[in-house]
Amino acid sequence: MAQRGQKRRAEETEEQRNRRSSDMAQCGQERNAEETEEQRNSRLSDMAQRSQERRAEESRRTKEWQIGSYKSFLFNALILSVRGLGEIVVPIAWTGIAAIILEGGRTAHYRYKLPVRILNNSSCSIPHNTEDGRFLKAEKLIIWDECTMTPHHALSAVERLLRDLMNSDLTFGGKVSVLGGDWRHILPVAVHANRTTIIET
């Protein structure tokens, strides 16, 4: 059919082509003339709505694939604001690369003396009467970046430590904690683990 159409258009003279284009334009004008004002408004409204939906979908897809969301900027603004009030802020991250982006950031292993290998019964080795213990008691805000990459046993160990230091049953010992991360990052590495175990890690 496509070949026949191409052959017919090739055999068509210039006059016939102009006549056909004129007939098509006239049909379009007649259709528009027969269209009521209400129908025209409805058609234009539908076109505008489809265009708006298409732009919204394109915008959503663009946002989904954005790498930066100014999370580190927000964290640093919080850190500087609270420190400006004379309070202690503890900015930490699970990885060293993420920690150096934060103002005065440290890794969770460094700040909370976590063991290298995190198990379900792991604990932080910070006694009450040490300098680190007194520092953590005095902290007002914890900012934990890349928490989505942190094994939950590490979070549990830190929470148990803070509850013990503050002698409180509240979450994280009642400390204000801001946890942030990117859910598109890889999950924590679990050696020889299946999918369920990795997710539970």
Q: For the segment 24-40, what is each residue's pLDDT rounded down to a tens digit?
A: 766 666 666 666 777 77
Tokens representing 201 are: 């890690």
| Per-position pLDDT tens, the chain of length 201 | 555 555 555 566 777 777 777 777 666 666 666 667 777 778 778 888 888 888 777 666 555 445 556 788 899 999 999 999 999 999 999 888 889 999 999 999 999 999 888 888 888 889 888 999 999 999 999 999 988 888 888 999 999 999 999 999 999 999 999 998 877 666 666 677 777 776 666
Classified as helix, coil or strand, 181 is: coil
Phi, psi of 107 (to 5 degrees): -75, 160
The pairing of strands 139-145 and 176-179 is: parallel
pLDDT value, residue 146: 87
Phi, psi of 174 (to 5 degrees): 85, 5
pLDDT value, residue 8: 59
